[in-house]
Amino acid sequence: MEMKKRRYGSWAAVMSAAALGLLAVSSPKGALAYFTTYVSAGGSHVVNMGSQTEIHEDVSSMTKHVSVTNVSQINDCFVRVKVFHSGELNVTYHDGGGLWTEGEGGYWYYGPILPAGQSTGILDVKIGDLPEDFDRDSFNVVVIQECTPVVYDEAGNPVADWTTVYTDYGEEADRNG
């Protein structure tokens, strides 16, 4: 009889605990429900760089007719040329189009952007005041050319940055492997 009483008491305790547990579960946590929404958008562009320029020098009447062609298919650039010669020669420059300007470092700068696939106007380099015994079939006047990509300044104007120092780069390991 004592045993039966004990069992009945245990059963009632279990049922009470179950009922309280059920009650606790039935209380919703409303504070965690909230309205949200979201949107997304993305865009990209390829940065094409790189240039290929070609210098042309035709000679006639002791004058070099210099022009530069941007042979790149994609990228515009700015170009400049510089003439090297021995001190005994007197060299004068003539630009019929008015687009070449003598500037810093003894270079002649082509003013406009040189679009891909196009050529500059002609810059004439005339060699004068030659000594009488000068060999007109063999003289040493060297023209070099340089190009630089079109960049923009803070005011939004296209400019050439000739201060860029180009160095050979090595292959660098990407962190992605």
The CB-of-87 to other proteins minimum distance in angstroms stands at 26
The CB-of-90 to other proteins minimum distance in angstroms stands at 26
Burial of 88 (0-12, 13-18, 19+ CB in 10 A): exposed
The residue range among 47-55, 82-90, 96-104, 125-133 that interacts with other proteins, by the rule CB under 8 A, is 47-55
Interface characters, 139-168, with other proteins (x: CB under 8 A): ------xxx-xxxxx--x-x--x--x-xxx
DSSP labels, 80-94: EEEEEE-TT-EEEEE
Tell which residue, 96, 141, 107, 77, has the closest CA to residue 69.
Answer: 77
Query: Do 51 and 77 form a contact (C-beta atoms < 8 A)?
Result: yes
End-to-end C-alpha distance for the chain, whole angstroms: 79
The residue range among 15-23, 87-95, 96-104, 124-132 that interacts with other proteins, by the rule CB under 8 A, is 15-23
- How many residues bind other proteins (CB under 8 A)? The answer is 63
Q: Does 105 bind other proteins (CB under 8 A)?
A: no
Q: Does 40 bind other proteins (CB under 8 A)?
A: yes
Partners of 101 in the beta sheet? 109
Calpha distance 53→28 (Å, rounded) = 74
91 token code pair: 């060299």
Q: Which of 1, 3, 4, 5 binds other proteins (CB under 8 A)?
A: 5
The contact set with other proteins (CB under 8 A) reads 5, 9, 12-13, 15-16, 19-20, 22-23, 26-27, 31-32, 34-57, 71, 74-76, 145-147, 149-153, 156, 158, 161, 164, 166-169, 172-176
